[in-house]
Amino acid sequence: MSEINVTPFVDVMLVLLIIFMVTAPLLTVGVQVDLPESSADSLPDDQEPLTVSINSKGEIFIQENKVSAETVIPKLLAIAKNRTDTRIYIRGDKNINYGRVLEIMGTLSGAGFSKVALISEPYKS
């Protein structure tokens, strides 16, 4: 009677699990932003969104690249290939003026981007 030996398969799967557990936290956006907490549900991730971050100094980043306020729209349009239905997440540090975040959101909405969302930390009870 021959049986299938699953031990090598289990070993490989455990190694892959460990690799993914170690690398997953490294895949987040690299701009340091202290996000506010919220009890809202998470949005579904259909495709890779663009992330606009505003750090505690008020500096603006697209993904990890620093940009000026005047060049945010042209760069986003170039990255999104002029598709204004691309999902854009805004990460605003909780220590900056809320008006700065709304200014960026208004600029994005004025340029035609319709899927703009704010990112927050999950509420810790």
Chain segment 61-79, per-residue pLDDT in tens: 888 888 887 888 888 888 8
Looking at residue 59, what is its pLDDT? 85
pLDDT at 14: 93
Cα distance between residue 95 and residue 67, in whole Å: 20
Copy the structure tokens of residue 121: 């930390």
Structure tokens at 22: 């170690």
Q: What does the pLDDT look like over 20-29, one tens digit per residue? A: 888 776 665 5
How much is the pTM? Answer: 0.58
Domains defined for the chain, CATH in brackets: 37-122 (3.30.420.270)
How far apart are alpha carbons 114 and 3 in whole angstroms? 57
DSSP state of 96: S
Close Cβ partners of 79 (under 8 Å, ≥ 6 residues apart): 50, 62
What are the pLDDT digits (tens) for 75-102?
888 887 877 777 888 888 878 887 888 8
Which H or E run contains 103?
helix 98-110
